[in-house]
Amino acid sequence: MDTPSIISHLSLGTNDFERAVAFYDRVLPTLGCQCIMREPGAIAYGKQLPEFWINTPIDGQPATVGNGTHVGFIAPSKEAVHAFYEAALAAGAQDEGPPGPRPDYGEPYYGCFVRDPDGHKIEATYWDMDLIQAQYLNPDAGE
């Protein structure tokens, strides 16, 4: 199977597993993701593969939030970015930036940022592939 992702999977720790599962069960379907695998103390989400894991730390120590770390999820549309944001806030997330363009990230970028109930920063991002193609992959096409 060929996949556009360069990441096999990533994991975020939680100190309240059931609360985290309830949050992500509500938020990730807005992006077409579902539970792929579930183990004691761990759950994996994805579209086809277990790409995003929530788990209690295997060493038994408390989970902590990484400074400068965040997870960006691909959204299929701007509407999905809005649905993700609204679902996340309704499920207890803290607002870190409402849906909209971020000119500093480039014209093709549209996204939002929230913090999950454990404090992890997550985002939903829609990339306008037509703009990426025109501006970054074929910049001389307009000449």
**81: in domain:** yes
All residues at 6 or more sequence positions from 57 whose CB lies less than 8 Å from its CB, including other chains: 13, 63
Pairing of strands 10-13, 52-55: parallel
Q: For position 139, what pLDDT does the model report?
A: 62
Q: Based on the structure, what is the number of domains in the chain? A: 1
Say what the pLDDT of residue 110 is. 96
In this predicted model, what pLDDT tens digit does every residue of 34-44 receive, in sequence order?
A: 999 999 999 99
Give residue-wise pLDDT tens across range 107-138: 899 999 999 999 999 999 999 888 888 777 77
Predicted TM-score (pTM) of the model is 0.89
CA-to-CA distance for 106 and 39, rounded, in angstroms?
39
So what's the pLDDT on residue 53?
98
Residue 39 sits in a domain whose CATH number is 3.10.180.10
Task: Please give the pLDDT value at position 1.
Answer: 59
pLDDT over threshold 80, residue 13: yes
Q: Which of 112, 133, 127, 124 has the alpha carbon at shortest distance from 52?
A: 124
| Cα end-to-end span (Å), the chain | 37
Task: Residue 85: give the domain boundaries.
Answer: 10-56+71-137
CA distance 89 to 92: 5
Q: What three-state secondary structure class fits 122?
A: strand
